[in-house]
Chain A
Amino acid sequence: MQHLRRRTTAGITITALCLAALAACGRADSGSGSSGGQGSAGAPAEAPGFDGTTITVGALTPTSGRVAVIGNPVTVGNQIYFDMINESGGIAGKYPVEVLVRDSKYESTTAAQEYQATKDEVSMYVQLLGTQVVSSLLPDLAQDGIVASPASLDSFWVREQNLLPWGGPYQIQVVNGVDWYLTEGGGEGETICSLTQDDAYGATGRDGLAFVAEQHGIKLGKQVQFTLGTTDYTTHINQLKGAGCDAVLLTATPADTAGALGKAAQVGFEPQWLGQSPTWLKPLFEGDLKDYAEKNLVILAEGGSWDKSASKGMGDMIAALEKYSPDTPADWYLTVGWTQARATHQVLEAAVERGDLSRDGLIEAMNSLDTITADGMFGDYGWGAPEEREPPRTSTIYAVDIDGSPMGITPKAQDYTSDAAAEYSFDD
């Protein structure tokens, strides 16, 4: 029987050698695709995500799971913007844009796989949702030379070559919001506390709060953190109440906001709640919490009221929503998606103008822009090479007004800018 084994080994070895020879046509240098693509002006050559007529942009966003509640309206915002552009012919009037949506489930693992599966089919990404998703994909984006717009307002993104952020970062929201409370909001000399999620997003709130406290030279009150998945906020609320907090910065997502505010309402704790933009979801506050939220909660975000006359951007967006997705309810996150698509449009437009839709062409086109505008929906973003970028430092403090506004929130102090926010540095 021994010869049989020898024959097996020999057979395997021979196959291996044959195949190694067959396989000797590696392709390590074929996949880069970042060079070339320079066509004659006005007619860009084919490039990844561009087949000569249609430009494809990607969106890696949760369409399932609990964060889909944010992902879905952002994606609708992306989509209706390009629906509007496509109706007039597309980018530069001739290249329609298609959005390739993939479900990231808000997991960096899934997003990494979706990125690998889609990167060769898209010009750039109009949306990458989630701080941890963006952070895990950054090295890939850099290596592949692809541009992406994050749907996350972390201040880390400002100086990244491959990112196309929009809007004032979370830290700016908090700095402006707290500054507003201390000055116009009647909170002078009051004790400011915080209730924040113990993760990356919660850290943005704590950062901003520590910075604004230092700027104003005030001492902060109790800082409480909670873990995602907390079912009962009694102890958290008791700690805040016991510490005599007059205002509480809230860095949370909607279900936790409702849980914490519900408990606060029950124990009769009525500070000024300062909620960061992701705390808000209208349907959760239409019931029992309506009166409490209208009285005690303000939302720190950016933008104006849900009104066609508020700004050109808002007017365009509401018109597009009525036309292309009439069943979608009003939502602040639509403005996020719209703004991302608006920024993406400007980059693509510049690239088409320069006649180069390749990876390098898009980066050069992006860096050639001076300003990225959101048509008044959000503040203009000072643009250029990464080190020149200057995010808007304005925020809008919204009051809760369930019946008065389709979004459920209405500006209380629009485009508020503080000295403290002007001091905030994005360079470290």
Chain B
Amino acid sequence: MTLSHAADLRTIRGPWRIAFSVVLVAVFFALPVLISDATLGTLILCGAFAIGAIGLNLLIGLTGQVSLGHAAFVAIGAYCTSYLGDGRGWPFLAYFATAIVLGLVAGAVIGPFALRLRGNYLVIVTIGLVFVSEHVLRNWESLTRPVRGTAPTRDAAVAIGPLDFGAGLDLGSALYTREQSMFWLTWALVALAAVVAHNLTRSRVGRAMQAVRDRDLAAEVIGVEPGRTKIGAFAVASAMAAAAGVIYALGLGAIDYQELSGIHGLFMSITFVAIIILGGLGTVHGSILGALLVVYGQRLIANEGAAMPILGIPVERGWMSTGELNGVLFGGLIIVFLLLEPRGLAALWARVRTWFQGWPFAY
């Protein structure tokens, strides 16, 4: 319950949220010191997927325009990193900004399709996008280097002013590894994306998006331009996807066009959509929770899988490989959430929060 306009506009509301924010900040700073670089590497990827999912959630959850072509825009960011960052030696902010601008432009170019197409037709056209981008990437050899299989991103500079995240931060008193430094950068960007999305949601634009989602003809009647709103949503989502692509590329060290387009690109797009379903449609923190669940969960299975009795490696082949188990769990989670908790982790989270807020009067 908010009692004033100022309180309503505040990003962080109430003592519980303040306490929680403090904990989050504490975790953000402390985590890299406490856990291994390999785990940090996974969390950096989680961050990349979270940024992409936050953008996609604006498009799907808020504006109601479904896209299975998100990977195509991730590829834009990834190849900016490889071509401009690694190949041309551009500074981080330059290729990062270029990626975002190209993402915006590409989204705005694709957006008009959404004006003519609705529902299922739009979904299939966006699938077409990942196959068309596969063709373009495969034939653009100077960019994707199909003969070596992958394009490098490792040597792209990741420095903002004196802070060199790529080489590892040097704070005078202490040196940090690349993974530790990239973790801080990545999750700072996740926080930035979350704030942008959160504020967008609460703005005039955000309300227009929701109006378009709920009834676009009605929205038009009350003065919202569905065309501009849809194109804008595509542009913002694509820009965030491109930003995600930059982090994804930096986190991996090399990128392969076959994993960003075509059938694997479709799978990646599906992963983004699954993240926002499992996390919670239309919520910003849901996108982050979903990314952690999906990306970190898959890594957990891969790491611990060999010890599970039903899994096996070929020699003493168990019932399925870890890759197959991950696929089954991924599909199974989507099914279970859609049936039992369609509003995702965010709704589960809300329940826990309500319980704590009501404590000790749990009614």
B136 to chain A, nearest CB (A): 13
User: Given A31-B177, A64-B321, A112–B252 Cβ distance below 8 Å?
Assistant: yes
The reply to whether B6 and A26 form a contact with Cβ atoms under 8 Å apart is: no
The reply to whether B152 and A139 form a contact with Cβ atoms under 8 Å apart is: yes
The reply to whether A135 and B148 form a contact with Cβ atoms under 8 Å apart is: yes
The reply to whether B256 and A108 form a contact with Cβ atoms under 8 Å apart is: yes
A25 to chain B, nearest CB (A): 6
The reply to whether A203 and B147 form a contact with Cβ atoms under 8 Å apart is: yes
Q: Select one of A102, A131, A227 contacting B302, CB under 8 A.
A: A102
Chain B residue numbers with a CB within 8 Å of A238 are none
The reply to whether B314 and A75 form a contact with Cβ atoms under 8 Å apart is: yes
The reply to whether A76 and B41 form a contact with Cβ atoms under 8 Å apart is: no
Chain A residue numbers with a CB within 8 Å of B331 are none
Check if B354 is an interface residue, CB within 8 A of chain A: no
Check if B335 is an interface residue, CB within 8 A of chain A: no
User: Given A26-B171, A75-B315, A131-B149, A109–B299 Cβ distance below 8 Å?
Assistant: no
Q: Select one of A7, A71, A132 contacting B149, CB under 8 A.
A: A132
**From DSSP, what is the main secondary structure of chain B's interface residues?**
helix
Which residue among B37, B256, B259, B322 has the maximum number of chain A CB atoms within 10 Å of its CB?
B256
The reply to whether A11 and B18 form a contact with Cβ atoms under 8 Å apart is: yes
Chain A residue numbers with a CB within 8 Å of B256 are 107-109, 132, 136
Alpha-carbon distance between A120 and B32 when the two chains are bound, in angstroms: 18
The reply to whether B263 and A107 form a contact with Cβ atoms under 8 Å apart is: no
The reply to whether A139 and B321 form a contact with Cβ atoms under 8 Å apart is: no
The reply to whether B259 and A108 form a contact with Cβ atoms under 8 Å apart is: yes
B253 to chain A, nearest CB (A): 6
Chain B residue numbers with a CB within 8 Å of A235 are none
The reply to whether A65 and B313 form a contact with Cβ atoms under 8 Å apart is: no
The reply to whether A15 and B173 form a contact with Cβ atoms under 8 Å apart is: no
Chain B residue numbers with a CB within 8 Å of A79 are 313-315
The reply to whether A199 and B146 form a contact with Cβ atoms under 8 Å apart is: yes
Alpha-carbon distance between A102 and B322 when the two chains are bound, in angstroms: 8
Check if A113 is an interface residue, CB within 8 A of chain B: yes
List CB contacts (< 8 Å) of B144-175 with chain A. 146-150, 152, 154, 168-169, 171, 173-175
Check if B200 is an interface residue, CB within 8 A of chain A: no
Check if B7 is an interface residue, CB within 8 A of chain A: yes
Check if A86 is an interface residue, CB within 8 A of chain B: no
Instruction: Give how many A residues have a beta carbon under 8 Å from the other chain's beta carbons.
Output: 67
User: Given A79-B315, A105-B323, A22–B29 Cβ distance below 8 Å?
Assistant: yes
Check if B120 is an interface residue, CB within 8 A of chain A: no
List CB contacts (< 8 Å) of A326-377 with chain B. 328
Q: Select one of A107, A137, A324 contacting B259, CB under 8 A.
A: A107
A338 to chain B, nearest CB (A): 13
Q: Select one of A65, A113, A120, A324 contacting B41, CB under 8 A.
A: A113
Which residue among B22, B263, B323 has the maximum number of chain A CB atoms within 10 Å of its CB?
B323
Chain A residue numbers with a CB within 8 Å of B320 are 64
Cβ-closest chain A residue relative to B301: A103
**Residue interface mask A283-327, B partner, CB < 8 A = 1:** 000000000000000000000000000000000000000001100
The reply to whether B168 and A24 form a contact with Cβ atoms under 8 Å apart is: no
User: Given A26-B180, A28-B176, A31-B177, A132–B26 Cβ distance below 8 Å?
Assistant: no
A65 to chain B, nearest CB (A): 7
The reply to whether A113 and B299 form a contact with Cβ atoms under 8 Å apart is: yes
The reply to whether A113 and B302 form a contact with Cβ atoms under 8 Å apart is: yes
The reply to whether B146 and A200 form a contact with Cβ atoms under 8 Å apart is: yes
**Residue interface mask B108-146, A partner, CB < 8 A = 1:** 000000000000000000000000000000100000001
List CB contacts (< 8 Å) of B224-283 with chain A. 252-256, 258-259, 262-264
B80 to chain A, nearest CB (A): 18
The reply to whether A113 and B323 form a contact with Cβ atoms under 8 Å apart is: no
Chain B residue numbers with a CB within 8 Å of A100 are 306
Check if B10 is an interface residue, CB within 8 A of chain A: yes
The reply to whether A116 and B37 form a contact with Cβ atoms under 8 Å apart is: yes
Cβ-closest chain B residue relative to A108: B256
Alpha-carbon distance between A31 and B177 when the two chains are bound, in angstroms: 9
Cβ-closest chain A residue relative to B325: A64
The reply to whether B150 and A135 form a contact with Cβ atoms under 8 Å apart is: yes
Which residue among A1, A28, A79 has the maximum number of chain B CB atoms within 10 Å of its CB?
A28
Chain B residue numbers with a CB within 8 Å of A246 are none
Cβ-closest chain A residue relative to B320: A64
Alpha-carbon distance between A377 and B4 when the two chains are bound, in angstroms: 82
Q: Select one of B29, B148, B168 contacting A28, CB under 8 A.
A: B168
Chain B residue numbers with a CB within 8 Å of A7 are 18
Chain B residue numbers with a CB within 8 Å of A68 are 321
List CB contacts (< 8 Å) of A168-218 with chain B. 198-200, 203
Alpha-carbon distance between A2 and B10 when the two chains are bound, in angstroms: 10
B181 to chain A, nearest CB (A): 9
28 A-B residue pairings within 8 Å (CB atoms):
A1-B6, A1-B10, A8-B18, A8-B21, A12-B21, A15-B25, A15-B26, A19-B25, A20-B171, A23-B29, A24-B173, A25-B174, A26-B169, A26-B175, A28-B177, A63-B323, A110-B302, A113-B302, A117-B42, A130-B149, A131-B148, A132-B258, A135-B148, A135-B149, A139-B152, A198-B138, A199-B146, A200-B148
Seed contacts A108-B149, A114-B302, A131-B149; 12 additional CB < 8 Å A-B pairs: A1-B6, A7-B18, A12-B22, A23-B29, A24-B173, A27-B176, A64-B324, A73-B314, A107-B259, A119-B38, A135-B254, A328-B314
Closest 10 CB pairs of A and B: A132-B149, A64-B323, A19-B29, A26-B174, A136-B254, A28-B175, A72-B314, A63-B321, A136-B150, A101-B313
Which chain A residues have a beta carbon within 8 Å of chain B's beta carbons? 1-2, 5, 7-8, 11-12, 15-16, 19-20, 22-29, 31, 62-65, 68, 71-73, 75-76, 79-80, 100-103, 105, 107-110, 112-114, 116-117, 119-120, 130-133, 135-137, 139-140, 156, 198-200, 203, 227, 229, 324-325, 328
